[in-house]
Structure 1
Amino acid sequence: MSQSELCQSFLAVQARLRQALDEARRAPDAALLLAVSKTKPASMLREAYALGQHHFGENYLQEALDKQSALADLDDLVWHFIGPLQSNKTRPVAEHFHWVHSIEREKIARRLSDQRPDYLPPLQVCLQVNISNEPSKSGVTLDELESLAASVVELPGLALRGLMAIPAPSENTLEQRKPYARLRAALEALRGRFPQAPLDTLSMGMSADLEAAVAEGATLVRVGTALFGRRDAP
């Protein structure tokens, strides 16, 4: 993708997001665009940064660390880890990321908290919910959510910000909205249960369904293909 093509894609996605927020009667800054940059070179992230994009989501740890090194001169980038997280990879994530969206086990949360350096603020985290109950998808069930949240809010190295989900795909807008409505309701329930936590974040919506997610209250939309084009193999 050329720089001009990236600029066109960026402007198109920003326009979609603004329109979705306007149609939902939400503030223009109520949802943040998270650029999903996995498999894309650091040079493309640098071009996106020049267009005003500061938040980037990565799934693959070593690839992300390489990009962070290459872009170290851009000290206001915000790095989000959004992929599955194994125990043997928690330390570098705790040390080098600002956000983690994919916590689904207390063990992982505890390791991230213990390994978060004292000189850094708490790691901002979301709990991943398997909102469509798909056997192939990661995430806790809605029935398991409160128990996991109760554990995470007690961890000093973490700040529990909200929930993340990747629903089963649908081309029907009304069907797209249903799982996001369930996730929003789950977050509202957690707010009542854990008033000490910020719980202000719904990480939901991607290239194909960001409008449905925004209509149901998304505060972070994770967009990759619509920004950067089709992904390369990792």
Structure 2
Amino acid sequence: MSSISDNIARIRENIFKAAHGREVKLLAVSKTFPCGAIAEAIKAGQLCFGENYAQEAVEKVDFFHLNSPTVPLEWHFIGPLQSNKTRMVAEHFQWVQSVDRFKIARRLNDQRPLDLPPLNILVEVNIDEEDSKSGVSVNELEDLLPELMTLPRLRLRGLMCIPKAQASELAKRKTFAKMKTLFDRFNNQGFKLDTLSMGMSADYVWAIEEGATLVRVGSSIFGQRNYSSKI
């Protein structure tokens, strides 16, 4: 059974081969995994972590802030965000990848502490138009991006998507390519986006080959999740 360190090394090698000289960030998705597993990843040089559940995430952020205050960890909130959780996210995270409406963005902006730099945000796009998924449609994106640029405590960095889970390689590549086209289009309009977050454990290599600049990998690093466990 390979260790977390071995898994990270293997994934980084895969990223390097797929990126062909481009810089691609690895986000270790640590939701449901304990602080001990995150500490192992940190020892392997991984400093960027993604969390889905606000309360669980804040406990981890506070733990490492108290126990490893000099380690420059970067925390990304990547799950659906409810209005009653925006304050804790605004106060503890450097990034939010799941902004999908202006109401949530405005709350994050208003609740971001003044002693912290602007909160980096990505807009989640429901690129495959799935009824069960969060995210804005492509048409809604046209209106939302200019609105986000008016919020001074947020910094719009790019786009994020989650393709259909059971789709074929060809279908996922088409989704990733569509996202890259969208990303380029808004950059050509002057939005200066630098982050395209797409690709997870099962498909991150395809996502990189189609233009991702950040991939979100969890189970391939930490193993299978036990959602019944209490962190």
Q: Which residue of 2 aligns with 1:231?
A: 225
Give the alignment of 1:10-29 within 5 angstroms.
10-22=8-20, 26-27=21-22
SS of structure 1 residue aligned to 2:224: coil
Distance 2:114 2:167 in 1: 45
Distance across 2 between alignment mates of 1:221 and 1:141: 21
| Equivalence map 1:1-234=2 (5 Å) | 5-22=3-20, 26-27=21-22, 30-72=23-65, 73-74=68-69, 75-170=71-166, 172-193=168-189, 195=190, 197-233=191-227
CA distance in 2 between partners of 1:47 and 1:174 (Å): 35
Asked if the contact 1:129–1:141 (Cα under 8 Å) also holds between the matched residues in 2, the reply is: yes
Encode CA deviations 1:206-229: one digit per residue, 9 max, x unaligned.
001011110111111000010001
2:91 & 2:79 partners in 1: Cα distance?
A: 16
- Give the TM-score of the pair, scaled to structure 1: 0.92
Q: CA deviation at 1:174?
A: 2.5
Moved over 3 A (4+): none
> How many residue pairs are counted as aligned between the two chains?
225
Unmatched tracts of structure 1, length 5 or more: none
- Whether the aligned pair in 2 keeps the contact of 1:81 and 1:102 (CA below 8 Å) is yes
Task: Please tell me whether the aligned partners of residues 170 and 176 of structure 1 are also in contact (alpha carbons under 8 angstroms).
Answer: no
C-alpha distance in structure 2 between counterparts of 1:170 and 1:89, whole Å:
30
Q: TM-score, length-normalised on structure 2?
A: 0.93
Query: How well do the aligned residues superpose, as a CA RMSD in angstroms?
Result: 1.4
Deviations 1:153-197 (CA, angstroms, capped at 9, x unpaired)? 11101000000000103463322211111111111121133x2x4
Shift of 1:117: 0.9
Q: What fraction of aligned residue pairs are identical, expressed as a percent?
A: 50
